[in-house]
Amino acid sequence: MGFGLIKVVNKKMTLLQLNELQLKKYTDPYVKLKLIFERTIELIDTHHPDEIAIEAPFFGKNVQSMLKLGRAQGVAMAAGLSRQVPVTEYSPKKIKMAITGNGNASKEQVARMLQSLLSIKELPKNLDSTDGLAAAVCHFFNSGKTQQTKSYSGWESFVKQNQDKIK
């Protein structure tokens, strides 16, 4: 599980941490989920993030792999939510598009663009950590772009919610 932490001050990003949780040595899938939960809680309690961005599950050919990934993502989300930290998901394509301008970019292309954006001296050998960082940077690039759509139950409701548009 890769993760990246950024700090944003006055709309400027700074890299705080780029790392990954090594889980290959554990065979019990429940132990892996427990470790993901605990490490996510530890990161939250240490860094006090305002928000968490996670790569949304993607559909692959291997259903078992997709299920395992979905569980891991769910555990990380639950850790954030248990600390009242809002969680946003982004599709892999949206993350790649936000970072490189190409939704089909390779892991290497995303990593090199992050290296340039955040002045990372040396990229890690395993690019799972840059995947986590890419979700954070994507979230930063997309912050403020989502607008809640107002819903109206009729003309009267529209008028009440849009007094500034009435002369």
Which residues are part of the catalytic machinery?
A: 55, 128
Do the annotations mark residue 55 as ligand-binding?
A: yes
Strand pairing class (12-20; 52-55)? unpaired
- How far apart CA 33 and CA 68 sit, in angstroms, is 9
- How far apart CA 110 and CA 131 sit, in angstroms, is 8
Do the annotations mark residue 20 as ligand-binding?
A: no
Token match 């989300």: residue? 77
Binding site per annotation, positions for Mg(2+): 55, 128
Binding residues: 55, 128
